[in-house]
C-alpha cells in the first residue's frame, strides 16, 4: 500500500489546489463528526455523571473513533490494493484530496476579505463567524481581520501540513486517523462544564498528534516568506519568541510565524460564548492590521503548503527507497 501513497499525496494535493471542496459532495469528516455525536449521547447515558465517569466515557469515545477513522480506510484500501490496485490508487488520491483543506481555507477566508472590502462590517462579522469559534458580533474591522488571519495560520497546520505529514508516513489510513483525532478535539475539546472531563482525553491526544506537525508548519511558514517577499528575519524572530504564547502547546506555532512575517500583532483577549478569555498577544505591532493581510496570509499559507508537500515527498520517498 505505501508505495502508492506518495503519488496519491501529490495527486490529491494538486486536486485540492485546483478544485477545493465542492459543497454538493458529502465529506468523509462529516461521517466521523456524526458518529462522534451519536456515540457521545450513548456513552453519556451509560457512564456515571461524575468526573471519573466522564473521563472514562471520553476515553472510550476516543478509542472507538480512532478504530473507526483509521481502521475502515485501512481495510478498504488493503482489499482494493490487493485485488484492484488501480482502484485503490484512485480512491486514496481522492480521499487525500478530500482531507486537505488548502483551497477551502483560502476560499472561506477570502469571503471575509470580500465583505470587508466590498460589503458591510456586519457582513464581514457573519463571514468570519463561519470559520472561527469566538464571538464575532462586536468585533471591529481590525478584530475581524485578525480573526481571519489567525484562522488561516492555525489551520495551515491542522488542515494542510499535519494531514500531509501523516499521509507521507502511513498513507491515507494514518491521515484519516489524524483527522478523526482532530475532529474529536474540535467537537469535544472545550474547557467548559460540559466537556472539561469528557473531552480531556480527546484534547490531550490532539495535542500529541499535532506536536511535531505544528512545529514543522511553523518553520515551513518561515521558509515560505522567502518566496512571498515577506519579512523572513522577523518571522523567525517572532516564531522563536512567541510560539508558546497560547494555552495550547501547538496553536501559537504558526500564528507566531504568520505575525512575524506580516509585521503585525495577532491574538490577545477574545470572547467565547459571552465570556472574556485573556490571552497573550503574538508578534509586534510594527504596522496596523489591515484587510489586505488576509490575502497575504493566504499567499504564505500556500507557499508553506507547497514547500511542505515537496519536503514530505522527497524525505519520505528517500527513506522508503533505502528501506525497500
Per-residue 3-state assignment (H helix, E strand, C coil) for 146-170: HHHHHHHHHHHHHHHHHHHHHHHHH
- Write out the H or E segment, with its range, that includes residue 267: strand 266-267
The C-alpha cell at 200 is: 480531556
Band (247; pLDDT cuts 50, 70, 90): confident
Nearest in space to 282 (alpha carbons), one of 149, 129, 137, 141: 149
Percent of the chain with pLDDT over 70: 99
The predicted pLDDT at position 22 comes to: 76
The predicted pLDDT at position 178 comes to: 97
Rounded to the nearest integer, the mean pLDDT of the chain is 92
List the chain domain ranges. Answer: 2-323
Band (324; pLDDT cuts 50, 70, 90): low
Band (237; pLDDT cuts 50, 70, 90): very high
Range 196-201 average pLDDT: 93
Band (174; pLDDT cuts 50, 70, 90): very high
For 84, 124, 142, 143, the CA distances from 110, given in Å and listed in that order, are 40, 10, 15, 15
Please state the pTM of the whole predicted model. Answer: 0.93
Higher pLDDT, 20 or 115: 115
Percent of the chain with pLDDT over 90: 80
Band (190; pLDDT cuts 50, 70, 90): confident
Say whether pLDDT at 182 is over 90. Answer: yes
Say whether pLDDT at 30 is over 70. Answer: yes
Kindly report the number of other CB atoms within 10 A of residue 52's CB atom.
10
Kindly report the number of other CB atoms within 10 A of residue 210's CB atom.
25
49 burial type by CB count under 10 A (0-12 exposed, 13-18 middle, 19+ buried): exposed
CB 198 within 8 A of CB 254: no
Range 152-178 average pLDDT: 95
Band (67; pLDDT cuts 50, 70, 90): very high
Say whether pLDDT at 23 is over 80. Answer: no
Amino acid at each position: 500500500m505505501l508505495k502508492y501513497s506518495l503519488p496519491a499525496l501529490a495527486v490529491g494535493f494538486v486536486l485540492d489546489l485546483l478544485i477545493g471542496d465542492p459543497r454538493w459532495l458529502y465529506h468523509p469528516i462529516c461521517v466521523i463528526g456524526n458518529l462522534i455525536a451519536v456515540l457521545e449521547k450513548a456513552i453519556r447515558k451509560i457512564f456515571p455523571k461524575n468526573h471519573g465517569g466522564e473521563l472514562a466515557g471520553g476515553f472510550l469515545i476516543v478509542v472507538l473513533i480512532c478504530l473507526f477513522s483509521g481502521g475502515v480506510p485501512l481495510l478498504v484500501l488493503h482489499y482494493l490494493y490487493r485485488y484492484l490496485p488501480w482502484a485503490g490508487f484512485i480512491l486514496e488520491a481522492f480521499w487525500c484530496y478530500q482531507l486537505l483543506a488548502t483551497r477551502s481555507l483560502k476560499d472561506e477566508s477570502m469571503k471575509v476579505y470580500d465583505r470587508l472590502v466590498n460589503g458591510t462590517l456586519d457582513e464581514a462579522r457573519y463571514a468570519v463567524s463561519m470559520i472561527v469559534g469566538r464571538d464575532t458580533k462586536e468585533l471591529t474591522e481590525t478584530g475581524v481581520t485578525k480573526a481571519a488571519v489567525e484562522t488561516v495560520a492555525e489551520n495551515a497546520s491542522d488542515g494542510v501540513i499535519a494531514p500531509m505529514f501523516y499521509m507521507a508516513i502511513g498513507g491515507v489510513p494514518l491521515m484519516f486517523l489524524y483527522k478523526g483525532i482532530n475532529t474529536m478535539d474540535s467537537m469535544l475539546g472545550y474547557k467548559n462544564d460540559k466537556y472539561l472531563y469528557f473531552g480531556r482525553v480527546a484534547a490531550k491526544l490532539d495535542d500529541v498528534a499535532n506536536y511535531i506537525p505544528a512545529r514543522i508548519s511553523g518553520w515551513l511558514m518561515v521558509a515560505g516568506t522567502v518566496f512571498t517577499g515577506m519579512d523572513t528575519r522577523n518571522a523567525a524572530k517572532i516564531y522563536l519568541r512567541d510560539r508558546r504564547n497560547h494555552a495550547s502547546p501547538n496553536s501559537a506555532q504558526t500564528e507566531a510565524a504568520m505575525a512575524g512575517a506580516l509585521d503585525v500583532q495577532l491574538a490577545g483577549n477574545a470572547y467565547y460564548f459571552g465570556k472574556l478569555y485573556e490571552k497573550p498577544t503574538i508578534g509586534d505591532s510594527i504596522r496596523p492590521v489591515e484587510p489586505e493581510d488576509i490575502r497575504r496570509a493566504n499567499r504564505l499559507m500556500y507557499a508553506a503548503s507547497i514547500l511542505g508537500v515537496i519536503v514530505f515527498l522527497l524525505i519520505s520517498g528517500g527513506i522508503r527507497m533505502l528501506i525497500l
